A and B are shown apart, each in its own frame.
Chain A
Amino acid sequence: MLDILVHRVYFFFESGIIFYVFTINTIYFFLTVAAYFSLRKHHRHFTAVEQDALLRSPLLPSLSLIVPAYNESATCRESVGGMLRLDYPNYEVIVVNDGSKDNTLQVLIDEFHLYKSAQVQSGTLVTKPVKQIYQSADPVRLVVIDKVNGGKADAINVGLNAATSTLVMVVDSDSLIESSGLLNMVKAYLEDPDRIIAVGGTVRAVNDCDVEHGRVKTIRTAKSHLANFQSVEYLRAFLGGRVGFSLMNCLLIISGAFGLFRRDAVLEAGGFDHDTIGEDMELVVRMHRLWLEKKKPYRIAYVAAPVCWTEVPDSLKILYRQRKRWQRGTVESLWRHRIMLFNPKYGIVGMFAFPYFAIFEMLGPAVEFLGYFLTILGLVFRIIAPPIAILFFTVSVMFGILLSTSSVVLEEFTVCRFPNWQHSHRLFFSAIAENFGFRQLLTIWRVQGLYEAIKGKKGGWGAMERKGFNVVKHSPKNGLA
């Protein structure tokens, strides 16, 4: 009798998990296919004529690039240098040094000939005190703000206070923006200036790409499999998921590494939140909530064309920390705005995007983990026959492979950044291989992140050991050194 009961309970759980995993993958497949059609329709590179017309335009809104930096001495010279050379007529770069323990500030002072400015801290957002504001003696619009350590959100808020432009773009200091990146992002705003409050762009892995004068010169896949697995993941998340969500105006994440915001909208929302580690997601969810509550028309868009290149972790240790942070950030953001869950007042955000993130992104790892655990348990105690185990494996792993390869194909047929077939094939291989081990590892880490979030663990800046960019240097004798 007990035996039958155990079997029934087991099958109930196992079937539920299979259904759950099938649903999440089907939704993701739906988003990927929708993203394909959307990108085919809307994704266009700037033509030279358009770019020229916009660069000559006196009507382009002013823009402030806010670059929060913490212990970034390895990459800040190259990345800030690159940011000062972007194709946009009217922008300033505001680097906020959040009390770095290394010599980030000194590197910036030496490289960009900074002097102490008369400018004082101002603005409505409450932040940690500013120690000193520097400006560059070179003919570039660079402001460096040195402040007491207060976390990434606090550093961005200081930048928001100092900015005077209509638009602000938040960029990680270890990132490289493509030269037409600002124009592409701003074009999305120009198309609907009354409604657009935020625009997200694509983030891609720069590992092993050649960098020259702060710009990515040669794009290639990384030598390390770990970086390539993350490349595929980024493609899946950005080109698949975000395009799909943006299509329905229910995008809940704009990457903190590359996001454009209307400054007045961010200030109206109260700036970035210090108390959460997923400050980028929290702000976007809060903006959705506020604008929907005030019944004001708005759009939070995603544009695939502008690309920001960033170094992805090359070691399991750093990746482990990063993923745990991301998971904690997701949980915190969703928990803080839990009132939106299945609340028809918040439209498609409350009825689709928020539940998707809560049920599949937040709890997904735990359910998937439980699925693996129950399957192994069932096989060991002979509660289930191998066919059922195969079924679970099929639904979870094979569907995952299909999604990953689909995102690689999506990249190939729409954005197409990888120049030759060797790189595409390497990505294809990574898309298949990541489902055997890497994905399961991420699941375990995310479960740990979920557990830490439930326990209420807090965190500051996510420390990342930088290798630095693969900088190409010209040698006078041999050409490329």
Chain B
Amino acid sequence: MKRLWAAHIPRVRSQAKLWWISFRRTGLDRALIVLKTFLVLLIFFYPVWWLHINVVSSRVAAVPLSLAIAFIAVQIACICIQLMASSMVKKIESMRAARSVRYRPRIRENIALHLTGNGDRLGELRTLRRRSLKDVEVCLVEALTAVDGNTRRELSDLAVQLGFLDLWTRRARRGSRECKQAVECLGQLSPGLACAALRPLLRNPKTAAEPIVYRALVRCANKKDLDLLFRNAANAPLALRAMLAGELRDYAPQLTAVALPAILKDGTARQIANALEMAAAWRCPLPLHDLAPLMRHPDSNVRSNALKLSAFSGLSQSGEQLILLALDDPNAGVQTVAIELAGRLRLTKAIGRLVLVTNHSDNETSRAACMALAMLGTTGEAFLQSHIMTSDAGSAGRAAESVARMRTARTAVLEIA
């Protein structure tokens, strides 16, 4: 019996682990919220019961009426508490705003004087920090975002002297809201300080602050970090990739030299597809040569992203062949990418295949083929003209639209010229 179970234990354990990981991602949060909610309901309904038993029922004999009175009392108390809490919050906020108006000009002046070297303002700033930490922090971050180079280094030193580096590092390890703000502040420091403070967070980043950590580290532009960041990004959710793609574009040649080939060599299908997607999104010429093997990859995302990237990696004879092959790909997504590329790159060799696709059952694919043919110049246009005369209303409409659009675009270009 024990042996029989032993065979199943690793499988059950791995399934339990997977369930726990997915539960921790979304379910745990949800369960905690539901538990807290029940607790609040208990806190709300218990006083009703308590009032009914201990206070009202001794005076009012009818149980429903006694319960109703207790209920009204608790509800009135709740409404009053809400009103008071709301007013107090507003009051505190207005007091804070008034204090900021008083303090901030002084803080800004002292920071400016400290930077220009007009006397030692550190003491004064420390006093202000003790009085209004938040305002000094805001003014310092404001100043950090506005400057660069040496001044940023000096301001970063000032932040260290005022104890903000420690404060932000501590906060960066806490709850998500504080963490996000702290990481943003750390990212504004001079590259050396920021990298040293942010690199440890990369090992165990809080989800909310993850993109900001990555972005700040990209801005520090350490080559070793960049490769690691790109590899991590290829494995990350779309939200993070989207936030990083624009930042990483500035380092595209460098990443294409080492990090991208490494992922293409030993990455999973998902990592490869994501890495290719980011590289294609940069829309800049990349020194990538051999994408042909990727076109035989079983994953359609890899194939379509490789195809998109091929347009930016110098179109060789084999590149053209890739597009022509992809026009017959069984996956509609890959086929559509190939059609668009054939039109954009004016691949006249593709005319025969594109003509066949104009009769595709899917309207979108058929429309893309018509547009591609229109882009191919006179031969493509001639086919579309004959198509207008001979085919059904839908196909003819798409063909006419493509020709008209192309002509409009050409006229616009001529007008600009």
Q: B91 to A421, Cβ gap below 8 A?
A: yes
- In the complex, what distance in Å separates the CA atom of A184 from the CA atom of B11? 40
**Contact yes or no, B215 A53, CB < 8 A:** yes
B282 at the interface (CB under 8 A from A): yes
| B79/A59 in contact, CB under 8 A | no
Assess whether B180 is in contact with A120, with CB atoms less than 8 Å apart.
Answer: no
With both beta carbons as reference points, the residue of chain A lying nearest to B394 in the complex is identified as A122
Other-chain contact of A49, B37, B40, B184, B367 (Cβ < 8 Å): B184
A56-B91 CB under 8 A given contacts A33-B37, A49-B212, A247-B30: no
A349: min CB distance to chain B, Å: 15
B85 at interface (Cβ–Cβ under 8 A)? yes
B contact residues around A190 at 8 Å (CB): 237-239, 242
Cβ of A479 within 8 Å of any chain B Cβ, yes or no, is no
Centre residue among B79, B180, B407 by max chain A CB count within 10 A: B79
A394 to B56 Cα, complex, angstroms: 15
Rounded to whole angstroms, the CA-CA distance of A120 and B397 in the bound complex is 7
CA distance A359 to B292 in the complex (A): 60
Residues in A neighbouring B401, C-beta threshold 8 A: 118-120, 122
Report whether A123 and B363 are in contact in the complex, using a CB–CB cutoff of 8 Å. Answer: yes
**B68 contacts A37, CB within 8 Å?**
no
The segment from A337-345, A400-408, A449-457 found at the interface with B is A400-408
Contacts of B277 in A (CB 8 A): 59
Q: Is the CB of A47 within 8 A of B184?
A: yes
Chain B residues lying within 8 Å of A53, measured Cβ to Cβ, are 211, 215, 243-244, 246-247
- Chain B residue numbers with a CB within 8 Å of A193 are 237-238
Interface residues in B373-417 by Cβ distance below 8 A to A read: 394, 397-398, 400-401, 404-405, 407-408
Find B71's partner among A44, A398, A420, A424 (CB 8 Å cutoff).
Answer: A398
When A30-B41, A44-B180, A59-B281 are in contact, do A49 and B215 touch as well, CB less than 8 Å? yes
Chain A 386-410 per-residue mask, 1 if CB under 8 angstroms from chain B, else 0? 0110110011001101100110110
Neighbouring B residues of A424 by C-beta, 8 Å: 86-87, 90
Residue total for A at the interface (Cβ-Cβ under 8 A): 55
Residues of B within 8 A of A50 (CB): 211-212, 243
Least Cβ–Cβ distance between A297 and chain B, in angstroms:
11
What would 20 more interface pairs be, CB under 8 Å, given A49-B212, A395-B68? A26-B41, A33-B36, A34-B34, A44-B177, A53-B246, A58-B282, A59-B277, A59-B281, A118-B404, A119-B405, A122-B363, A122-B367, A190-B237, A388-B65, A405-B82, A409-B82, A412-B89, A421-B90, A421-B91, A424-B87
A91 to B214, CA, bound (A): 27
A41/B400 in contact, CB under 8 A:
no
Closest B residue to A187 by beta carbon equals B239
CB B211 to nearest CB in A, in angstroms, measures: 7
Q: How far is the CB of B88 from chain A (nearest CB, A)?
A: 10
Shortest B304–chain A CB gap in Å is 14
* Chain B residues whose CB sits within 8 angstroms of the CB of A360 once the complex forms: none
Beta-carbon contacts under 8 Å, B49-98 to A: 62, 64-65, 67-68, 71-72, 75-76, 78-79, 82-83, 85-87, 89-91, 94
Q: Taking the nearest CB of chain A, how far is it from the CB of B350, in angstroms?
A: 21
CA distance A387 to B65 in the complex (A): 6
Which residues of chain B have C-beta atoms less than 8 A from A412's C-beta?
86, 89-90
Specify which of A26, A30, A49, A58 is in contact with B245 (CB 8 Å cutoff): A58
B37–A58 CB distance below 8 A: no
Interface centre among A59, A124, A405 (most CB of B within 10 A): A59
In the docked arrangement, what's the CA distance between A388 and B282, Å?
Answer: 71
Beta-carbon nearest neighbor of B83 in chain A: A428
Can you show 17 pairs from A to B with CB atoms below 8 A apart?
A34-B33, A49-B212, A49-B215, A53-B243, A59-B281, A120-B397, A192-B237, A247-B33, A388-B65, A395-B68, A395-B71, A402-B79, A405-B78, A409-B85, A412-B89, A413-B86, A424-B86
Given contacts A402-B78, A413-B89, contact A59 B241 (CB under 8 A): yes
Bound complex: CA A412 to CA B81 (Å): 14
Flag whether A237 is at the interface (Cβ < 8 A): no
Interfacial residues, chain A to chain B (CB-CB below 8 A): 26, 29-30, 33-34, 37-38, 41, 44, 47, 49-50, 53-54, 56-60, 118-124, 187, 190-193, 247-248, 387-388, 390-391, 394-395, 398-399, 401-402, 405-406, 408-409, 412-413, 420-421, 424-425, 428, 432
Cβ-based interface call for B29 (8 A): yes
Distance in angstroms from B369 CB to nearest chain A CB is 13
One digit per residue, 1 when the CB lies within 8 angstroms of any chain A CB and 0 when it does not, for chain B 11-38 equals 0000000000000000001101110110
B interface, by DSSP: helix, strand, loop or mixed?
Answer: helix
Q: How many residues of B contact A (CB 8 A)?
A: 67
A25 to chain B, nearest CB (A): 11
Take A58-B249, A409-B85 as given contacts and tell me if A401 and B187 are in contact as well, using a CB distance cutoff of 8 Å: no
Residues of A close to B257: CB separation below 8 A? none
Q: Is the CB of A406 within 8 A of B245?
A: no
Cβ of B278 within 8 Å of any chain A Cβ, yes or no, is: yes
Lowest 8 A-B CB distances belong to which pairs?
A118-B404, A56-B246, A58-B281, A387-B65, A190-B239, A421-B90, A53-B243, A59-B242
B281 — nearest CB in chain A belongs to which residue? A58
Identify which of A187, A406, A421 contacts B87 (C-beta below 8 A).
Answer: A421
Cβ B30 vs Cβ A248 within 8 A: yes
Please state if A420 and B90 are interface contacts (CB–CB under 8 Å): yes
Do the beta carbons of B68 and A391 come within 8 Å of each other? yes
Assess the A391–B242 pair: CB atoms within 8 A. Answer: no
Q: How far is the CA of A26 from the CA of B40 in the complex (A)?
A: 12
**Cβ of B405: which chain A residues have Cβ within 8 Å of it?**
118-119
Say how far B140's CB is from chain A's closest CB, in angstroms.
Answer: 16
Measured in the bound complex, the distance between the Cα atoms of B351 and A324 in whole Å is 57
Q: How far is the CA of A187 from the CA of B82 in the complex (A)?
A: 32
The answer to whether residues A428 and B86 also contact, given A47-B180, A60-B242, A122-B398 and a CB cut-off of 8 A, is yes
Q: In the complex, which of the residues A56, A406, A408, A432 has the most CB atoms of chain B within 10 Å of its own CB atom?
A: A56
Could you tell me if B37 and A405 are in contact, using CB atoms closer than 8 angstroms? no
B342 to chain A, nearest CB (A): 18
B228 in the interface, Cβ–Cβ < 8 Å? no
Within 8 Å CB of A192, what residues of B? Answer: 237
Which residue of chain A has its CB nearest to the CB of B278?
A59
Q: Which residue of B lies closest to A404 (CB)?
A: B79
A58 to chain B: which residues have CB within 8 Å? 245-246, 249, 281-283
Residue B208 interfacial (CB < 8 Å): yes
B40 touches A33 (CB 8 A): yes
Contact A37 B37 (CB under 8 A): yes
